[in-house]
Amino acid sequence: MSEVSPTRRDVLATSAAASAITLLFESPARAAGDNAIRPFRINVPEARLVDLRRRIAATQWPETETVADQSQGVQLATIQELARYWERDYDWRKVEAKLNALPQFITEIDGLDIHFIHVRSKHDNALPLIVTHGWPGSVIEQLKIIDPLSNPTAHGASASDAFHVVIPSMPGYGFSGKPTSPGWGPERMGRAWAELMKRLGYPRYVAQGGDWGAFVVDQMGLQAPAGLLAIHTNMPATVPADVDKALQVGAPPPVGLSAEERRAYEELIKTFKQVDYARIMGSRPQTLYGIADSPVGLAAWLLDHNDADGQPAAAVASALNRTTSATGELTRDEVLDNITLYWLTNTGVSASRLYWEYKGGFFNAKGVTIPVAVTVFPGEQYQAPRSWTERAYPRLIHYNKVDRGGHFAAWEQPELFSAELRAAFRSVRQPS
Amino acid sequence: MDAIRTEDIDHQRRQLLGTATVGIVAAGAISLLPSQLAAAPDDAIRPFRINVPEADLVDLRRRIAATRWPDQETVKDQSQGTPLARLQELVRYWGTDYDWRKIEARLNALPQFVTTIDGVDIHYIHVRSKHPNALPLIVTHGWPGSVIEQLKIIDPLTNPTAHRGQAEDAFDVVVPSLPGYGFSGKPTGTGWDPDRIARAWAEVMKRLGYTRYVAQGGDWGTPISSAMARQGAAGLLGIHINLPATVPPEVAAALAGGPLPTDLSDKERAVVEALMTSGKNGNLAYFTIMTARPQTVGYGATDSPAGLAAWVLVHPGFAQWRYGADHNQSPTRDDVLDNITLYWLTNTATSAARLYWENGARGSVIVAAAQRTAEISLPVAITVFPEDVYRPPETWARRAYRNLSYFNEVDKGGHFAAWEQPGLFSAELRAAFRPLRHTN
């Protein structure tokens, strides 16, 4: 990163006046509007970590919930135990080193700095792939799939299944810039991602996403930018219009649904009862000052995202009790890596604003006509039936129901997730 | 109160003051009170004074100064929530010039008491009128309010002759803090929904020796006062409410996504459209998130003064509030900060939010069927304040409340009517309850 040094002074010199995030960046300054791709490293000042620990230790707590379960939200004992570990034993420097061991860059697109990880495979003919995280996630969700995808032969897979992997931080998230005016919804991100792949010199590529990333890849599918061969989604938007209408008013399942469709309908009804976090972020994101000022407030807010098995997500809740994992399952440190990233970049509110930006439907079929691959993970918000999926995505190139993994599939089951992407995109690769 | 002799009061007050420091620092203002007074009979009424330790105020100012702010909203209006610049200015004032001791002194100048009902300490202000035959009245605040909302109506109601009222319109005023709010205790188990609070209020009035009384409420005070009427609380003559549950079933269905009824009058249609617009603008999200996840939303509001302030101000009732820029506007900046500081010092952001969770499946507080208004046979009086979250038409009110004894639309005031227009609000209560004074 020696080329960073001459310009680093400039960055530091302007940081005092700008937001906290500036200090975290070690990336060359640039002229506005240029297409330069600047190397990026993270170096959080120690004082910020000290401040975080001090704030955690000084937390003013509410009293215990009045129930013995999670029905009022993240339980006091859970968050207190996590906060204790976060303050005393958790080590941000480990994930910082992990991130800095990967090639990271920033480039300005459509007026905004976009941060991304870019790992090229050593294999010729590797297929370029852009993977998009969601809320309450970050590029940290995708770290464990990078090696399996870019270096498949080390993971029992074939060189012909290799990917060049691009993992951007969404605008307002992580180390990307924060929009200062409205308009950065999934549609605009989709166009920015197409520009990013173009700038990286990839004329043919595929895109993958879950959660908000699924919205982004659906939009890319609709926009069908030159070079996009196919998308893979692990939160497919398949619900037919009439079914979606019934869902919106909480009606009983429409007549004529198959057993599988009825089950999906019931799962969606349950999901819509667990998304009040989305409603408040969709309407009053700026009101969440507490998640900018309180580490524990932020942690609880991020933890309380649901999956099919619970709210907080069962996969995340069980990770809080998992200190290590040989098989790549989610651990407590990884959950804290992600929360700490939100804290250090002060992106709780800017990330929430994505919900405010988006005014469209959630799981309704969007009309994507390019090739689409779908993996249905059992812990996802709903189990997209094959029937709906085939109608929503007429050029369905892959549909598979797997037996483990959930809403944070890449984070929870990186090997399985990677195997799915290999299988999903095999048919769109050019024969070498 | 007559049962408690002066020396008892002084003795108990000393004990309260003596333990206040420990109590507030360790666990919230109220928690030591029960053990403190364990020897007192179960239905004892204990005098109460507030004395917040200086260290708590210093800590609050320190936290305010250390606030870490998010970046600015990406819009030029309030559509994303309290704008950064406005909140920063308010919080800057809060951390530098605002003086909690003024409101503490105002509260302590009023007779305050605590009594344990159904296992929870209930704090209340109790001001008797000097006029004989004053009508006892229990006034209930809501969220994000407290007894501070009602302070400006106490003198007009108890002492009407000093406020262009007549002696025969005088009230003895009881203003309780809801369980989980202010200086009342925090429930540690479930079940403290509006119906249970209503039963507790009936017990308060009984303990005070009131055998004929009326009840008033807006916001959560409406379902609570209405539940008292529905339960037929002994001695309750009638209620006055300013957030009535009048929305009829066919309109409730339309608001939930069903077809719009075709036979609405222009006035009714305007109300429906305003409710739909309000919903689309996200004015109910604070309601649904506290209903679903009060504990989750509570952590940030409990740990961050700025987070608490913004969360209180999320209520649509503050949409027209000018953050103190309009010096003629009530509530003033100090009034609003008094209320927010009360939440902070008593650490009640989460416990107060839990009332929404308790209401839970019952649903909307403005829908007649959800609030079972048809079961109320006692007289119900309604004042419609034009800037409240909706303007119920009289036609709906008559359908919802079969014994509607008073209905009046006034020309000013909003959701926090008692706070915003105390003179008008007091005049409304006098007029509303006049016919009930001599009923049996």
pLDDT digits (tens, 9 = 90+) for B115-148: 999 999 999 999 999 999 999 999 999 999 999 9
Q: What tokens were used for A208?
A: 């993958």
- Scanning B240-259 for CB atoms below 8 A from A yields 256-258
Tell whether B295 lies on the interface with A, counting CB pairs under 8 A.
Answer: yes
Chains A & B: contacts with CB separation below 8 Å: 201
Q: B260-307: per-residue pLDDT in tens? A: 999 999 999 999 999 999 999 999 999 999 999 999 999 999 999 999
The pLDDT of residue A250 is 86
Assess contact for A156 and A127: CB atoms under 8 A: no
Per residue in A251-298, pLDDT tens? 899 999 999 999 999 999 999 999 999 999 999 999 999 999 999 999
CB-based contact (8 Å) between A23 and chain B? Answer: no
Query: If you measure CA to CA, which chain A residue comes closest to B283?
Result: A283
Q: Which residues of A touch B84 (CB under 8 A)?
A: 286
Instruction: Check if the beta carbon of residue A384 is closer than 8 Å to that of residue A207.
Output: no
A contact residues 74-103, partner B, Cβ 8 Å cutoff: 74-76, 79
pLDDT mean across residues, chain A: 92
Q: Do A290 and B308 touch (CB under 8 A)?
A: yes
Interface probe for B, chosen from A63, A173, A188 (most Cβ of B below 10 Å), is A63
Residue B440 is predicted with a pLDDT of 58
**Cβ of A261 under 8 Å from any chain B Cβ?**
no
Report the distance separating Cα A117 and Cα A131, nearest Å. Answer: 10
Confidence of residue B40 (pLDDT cuts 50, 70, 90): low
Q: Please report, rounded to a whole number, the percentage of residues in chain A having pLDDT higher than 90.
A: 89
Q: Provide the CATH number for the domain formed by B107-245+370-436 in this structure.
A: 3.40.50.1820
Contacts of B72 in chain A (CB under 8 A): 180
Residue A42 pLDDT greater than 60, yes or no: yes
User: Taking Cα atoms as reference points, which of B80, B71, B83, B70 lies closest to residue B325?
Assistant: B83
- Residues with Cβ within 8 Å of B228's Cβ and at least 6 positions away in sequence, in order, are B198, B201, B202, B215, B236, B239
Confidence (pTM): 0.92
Element (H, E) at B383: strand B380-384
Separation of alpha carbons A313 and A336, rounded Å? 15
Q: Report which residue type is found at B29.
A: A
Q: Cα B74 from chain centroid?
A: 33
Distances (CA, A) of B396 to B172, B266, B410: 32, 13, 17
Query: Would you call A248 and B257 a contact, using CB atoms and an 8 Å cutoff?
Result: yes
Q: Quick check: A297 contacting B, CB < 8 Å?
A: yes
With an 8 Å Cβ cutoff, is A171 touching chain B? no
Confidence of residue A342 (pLDDT cuts 50, 70, 90): very high
Output the pLDDT for position A12: 33
Q: Where are the alpha helices (DSSP H) in B327-421?
A: 333-346, 349-359, 394-400, 417-420
Is residue A214 a contact partner of residue A233, using CB atoms and an 8 Å limit? yes
Q: How far is A412 from chain B (nearest CA, A)?
A: 23
CA pair distance A174, A104, nearest whole angstrom = 12
Q: Sheet harboring B135-140: ordered strands across? A: B45-47, B112-117, B120-127, B171-176, B135-140, B213-217, B236-241, B380-384, B404-409
The DSSP secondary structure of B157-187, one letter per residue, reads HH-GGGGT--GGG-EEEEEEPPTTSTTSPPP
pLDDT for A353: 98
Residues of A in contact with B66 (CB under 8 A): 55
Angle between helices B333-346 and B54-65 (to 10 degrees): 110
Of B428, B346, B385, the C-alpha closest to B156 is B428
Most B CBs within 10 Å: which of A294, A346, A354, as the mutation test of the B interface?
A: A294
Q: What is the pLDDT of residue B25?
A: 32
- Our CA-based measurement puts residue A54 at a distance from the nearest CA of chain B, in whole angstroms, of 11
Mean of per-residue pLDDT scores for chain B: 91
Structure tokens at A271: 């999901």
Contact between chains at B81 and A285 (C-beta distance less than 8 A): yes
- As a whole number of angstroms, the distance between CA B273 and CA B264 comes to 11
Asked if the C-beta of A172 comes within 8 angstroms of chain B's C-beta atoms, the answer is: no
Mark yes or no for CB contact B307/A291 under 8 Å: yes
Is residue B68 exposed (0-12), middle (13-18) or buried (19+ Cβ within 10 Å)? middle
* Yes or no, beta carbons of B304 and A287 under 8 Å apart: no
Compare all CA atoms of chain B with the CA of A345 and give the residue at the minimum distance: B70
- Asked if the Cβ–Cβ distance from B282 to A304 is below 8 Å, we say no
* Least confident interval from A350-359, B9-18, B400-409: B9-18
Dihedral (CA of B327, B287, B268, B241) sign: negative
The predicted model gives A158-181 an average pLDDT of 98
Q: How far apart are CA A292 and CA B300, in angstroms?
A: 9
Q: Where are the domains of chain B?
A: 107-245+370-436
Do residues A236 and A424 make contact, with C-beta atoms less than 8 angstroms apart? Answer: no
CB spacing of A181 vs B74 below 8 angstroms? yes
- Matching residue, tokens 């998308």: A231
Q: Shortest Cα distance from A118 to chain B (angstroms)? A: 28
Q: Which of B304, B340, B348 to mutate to test the interface with A (most CBs of A within 10 A)?
A: B304
What does the alpha-carbon distance between residue A414 and residue B157 come to, in Å, rounded to a whole number? 68
Q: What is the Cα gyration radius of chain A?
A: 21
User: Does the pLDDT of residue A13 top 70, yes or no?
Assistant: no
Per residue, the 3-state secondary structure of B18-43, as one string, reads HHHHHHHHHHCCCCCHHHHCCCCCCC
Q: Which of A64, A73, A296 sits opposite B303 (nearest CB)?
A: A296
d(CA B125, nearest CA chain A) in Å: 25
Say if residues A141 and A133 touch (Cβ distance below 8 Å): yes
Q: Closest to A284 (Cβ–Cβ): which among B292, B300, B314? A: B314
pLDDT in the model for residue B5? 32
State mean pLDDT over A384-413: 98
Instruction: Tell me what pLDDT residue B438 has.
Output: 83
Residues in contact with A379: Cβ distance below 8 Å, sequence separation at least 6, in sequence order: A307, A308, A309, A313, A314, A315, A404, A405, A406, A407, A412
Q: What is the rounded distance in angstroms from the CA atom of residue B135 to the CA atom of residue B167? A: 11
Mutation site, B184, B196, B293, interface A, largest A CB count within 10 A = B293
Length of chain A: 432
Min CA distance, A85 vs chain B (Å)?
A: 17
What is the phi/psi pair of residue B127, to 5°? -115, 120
Q: How far is B308 from chain A (nearest CA, A)?
A: 7
> Quick one: pLDDT band at residue B66, thresholds 50, 70, 90?
very high
Q: Could you say which residues from 27 to 86 on chain B have a Cβ atom under 8 Å away from some Cβ of chain A?
A: 28, 63, 66-75, 80-84
Q: For residue A160, what are its two tokens?
A: 């012909």
A37 lies within 8 A of chain B by CB: no
Q: A207: Cβ–Cβ under 8 A, 6 or more apart, which residues?
A: A129, A130, A131, A132, A193, A216, A217, A220, A228, A230, A231, A232
How confident is the model over A348-391, as pLDDT tens digits? 999 999 999 999 999 999 999 999 999 999 999 999 999 999 99
pLDDT at B31: 40
Of A76, A293, A346, Cβ closest to residue B304: A293
Nearest CB partner across the interface for B304, out of A181, A287, A289: A289
